[in-house]
Amino acid sequence: MEAFFKVPSTPADQTEAVVSGVNMLDCPLNEIESIVHGTTVGTNAIIERRGVRVGLVTTAGFGDLIEIGRTQRLVPGSMFDPKFVRPKPLVPRHLRFEVHERLSAGGEILKNIQPAELEALAEKIKAAGAASVAICFLHAYRNPVHEIEVRNFLRRRLGSIPLSISSEIVTEHREFERFSSTVVNAYLMPVMQTYLNSLAQAFKQRAYRRRLYVMNSAGGMITAKTAQAFPIRTIFSGPAGGVNGAIYFARQAGLRNIITCDMGGTSTDVCLVQELTPLVSSEHQLAGIPIKTPQMEINTVGAGGGSMAWVDEDGRLKVGPQSAGADPGPASYGRGGTHATITDANYFLGRLGNQSLLAGRIELYFEPAKAALERLSEKLGGYGLHQLAEGVIQIAITKMAGSIKEISVQKGHDPRDYVLVAYGGSGPMHAAQIGEELGISTILIPPAPGNLSALGLTLSDVRHDDVTHWMAVLEDASMEVIEKKFQQMEEKAVSVLRSEGFDSADIVLKRELDLRYRGQAFELNTPVESGDSADKIKKRFAGQFLDRYGHSHAAHALELVNLRLASFGITGKPAFAGVEDDNSALPQAKKDEKAVFFGGSFWDTCILDRALLPRRENFKGPAIIEEKGATTVIPPGWTAEVDDGGNIILNRRNTE
């Protein structure tokens, strides 16, 4: 059975929206094999600073490390901003507690912790009212003994307060990123525990008895229990599901290299996928806060259907990152919103109809959208409303195209060599314009694009990641020692997956080495296999370096920094039906015709029902294709057809 639903989010309690959607299933939950959940609870808590009060326990003299950080402005667009203010750390100074302990860089104990100091520490944490504690000692990635000692002591003294230790969150060097990531995990633990416990209880009351899975940021599933202990792994949970769904339909269409574009109500997430494999790295930041855990290389920009247009103090038109959200939403929702949004601009231009949003559940109102644009026009000195609406959309298009350039052009990839896969509630509406901005001539709109992120969750495998830090010059390192270290990591990974119910035949292991030229500060993740020689690994790294930076140095020595292992428990995948072979013709799909504003003038435009579109019949834009949850806009100069898998394929007629 295939069923797709969209329900409005419930910011006050996101559990309500999830349960509301599940209740729409025409199937009792005790017949459901598994539930996989993608969530933005962690993401929103960081962006909106709605986590809990965190206490930080660290080595004496290093209490200010998370505030000093590095001499970098991590917030995008801040490099030349004279008004830039560094984001405040998640732990204020009075909640940082220092302990007199010390390990050497190699992990040897130089100074033990005194029992009396631990007693005093527990009292300080209790008096400060910390709801969660992050324990981060210098060089703990080499030896966790002191972190474990403090955690065990505080667990006895403080009861059920959540405790995070850096040696379990980030098992590699770079103190600032390791400390920051551990603090983020502690900041989110109570929030995620409350949310997932509430969700699990709601499902249990509806007779669901199997495991609840949560999507992790690297594109795999983890159990809800793991997500509660390591919520940092779920930061990009929702977008990762969408990338998996895009890969599935790209494979069905015979594509190998794609750029995904997931445009929702608040933001747009983009990801570059080569040979049907997204890039995964552990160097990320959110709202200026470093997060060092494996994540898909997804770039996010504040441009979504609800992004508001506004005028800055210099009289310039801006769009986003502020959003009207789900409540009150865009002005055209008629719920009291007064700011013009991207949705209002599209509706005013005729590119949206009353059956286009949220499965037809939200009726749109023209007059509030027009009034919002009129107020914006007055602030700009009286622009024509149609030209203003197009300007709002074009600014958003430029921002989204810029985000794609960051993951493609800036890393040595030409976006014209890729197919754009657009989804989310707003992605198909803007895909062709994004393509024109980047010179991309082919676009794929998958079935049910408004639900693709959810659909992608069901196509995912269970995934765990492990890292062993070991610095050595590759040419001097023993390949036998590297092999032994990987085997130890694999034994541990297989044991975990077997405990989760996977047989050996369903377990896949993938090795990587973090490598860099000697003297450099940052690494590239390089895939390796058992039996690879140092020369073979070096050649593979040189090819990666050339692709990323446009040059390589074959004669330079390589430095090994980390060994990485990704372990997968392969799950059964649902099968999705394509478009049935019937006698539908394009005239049957035509619902209406109206004037729509494109490029400075009105065009007679067909309004089409996606469910009735025939296969393999090419038709020209302008046209608008409506379905539950999304609208696809085909501007003049583009053609479209439906392939055998049910994808809408857009092609630009004139690529000059």
pLDDT in tens, 559-586: 999 999 999 999 988 877 655 555 577 8
The C-alpha atoms of residue 596 and residue 593 are separated, in whole angstroms, by 9
Q: Which residues contact 480 (CB under 8 A, 6 or more apart)?
A: none
Long-range contact list for 75-82, CB < 8 A, 24+ apart?
Answer: 75/287, 75/288
Distance of CA 149 to the CA centre of its chain: 35
The two three-digit tokens of residue 310, written as one number: 């506004």
The two three-digit tokens of residue 124, written as one number: 């300080």
Least confident of 13-22, 383-392, 486-495: 13-22
Predicted local confidence at residue 361, as pLDDT = 63
Locus of tokens 């050595």: 472
- pLDDT, tens digit (0-9, with 9 covering 90-100), for 394-407: 999 999 999 999 99
pLDDT tier, 656 (very low <50, low <70, confident <90, very high otherwise): very low
Is 402 strand, coil or helix? Answer: helix
The two three-digit tokens of residue 216, written as one number: 């992790």
Give the bridge partners for 175, in sequence order: none
Query: What b-and-e string marks burial along 377-414, b requiring 16 or more CB atoms within 10 Å of the CB?
Result: beeeeebebbebbbbbbebbbebbbbbbbebbeeeebe
Looking at per-residue confidence, does 72 or 451 come out higher? 451
Is pLDDT above 90 for 156?
A: yes
Predicted local confidence at residue 76, as pLDDT = 61
Four-CA torsion 555, 557, 563, 568, nearest 10 degrees: -10
The C-alpha atoms of residue 433 and residue 439 are separated, in whole angstroms, by 10
Least confident of 77-91, 275-289, 325-339: 77-91
Is 582 strand, coil or helix? Answer: coil
Tell me how long the chain is: 656
| All domains of the chain in start order, with CATH | 1-235 (no CATH), 237-456+583-656 (no CATH), 462-569 (3.30.1490)
Q: Which residues contact 48 (CB under 8 A, 6 or more apart)?
A: none
- pLDDT, tens digit (0-9, with 9 covering 90-100), for 321-363: 888 877 788 999 888 889 999 999 999 999 987 555 444 567 8
- Cβ 33 vs Cβ 27: under 8 Å: no
Mutual orientation of helices 175-205 and 14-23 as an angle, nearest 10°?
Answer: 40
The two three-digit tokens of residue 131, written as one number: 């709801």
What burial class does residue 183 get, using C-beta atoms within 10 Å of its C-beta: 0-12 exposed, 13-18 middle, 19+ buried?
A: buried
Predicted local confidence at residue 78, as pLDDT = 66
Angle at 323 between CA 317 and CA 325, to 5 degrees: 150
Mean pLDDT, residues 122-132 taken together = 96
The C-alpha atoms of residue 228 and residue 221 are separated, in whole angstroms, by 13
Predicted local confidence at residue 495, as pLDDT = 96
CA torsion through residues 290, 181, 304, 298, sign: positive
Q: Which residues contact 331 (CB under 8 A, 6 or more apart)?
A: 324, 337, 338, 339, 340, 341, 344, 368, 369, 371, 372
Locus of tokens 């993401």: 43
| Side-chain half-sphere exposure of 256, counting CA atoms within 13 A | 2
Least confident of 130-144, 224-238, 317-331: 317-331
Query: What b-and-e string marks burial along 58-81, b requiring 16 or more CB atoms within 10 Å of the CB?
Result: bbeebbebbeebeeeebbeeeeee
Average pLDDT, the chain: 90
Give the single-character DSSP code of 142: T
Predicted local confidence at residue 475, as pLDDT = 86
Nearest to 446 by CA among 237, 215, 241, 242: 242
Cα(first)–Cα(last) distance of the chain, in Å? 45
Is pLDDT above 80 for 504?
A: yes
CB atoms within 10 A of CB 562: 20
The C-alpha atoms of residue 654 and residue 656 are separated, in whole angstroms, by 6
Predicted local confidence at residue 582, as pLDDT = 58
pLDDT tier, 655 (very low <50, low <70, confident <90, very high otherwise): very low
The DSSP bridge pattern shows strands 419-423 and 258-263 to be parallel
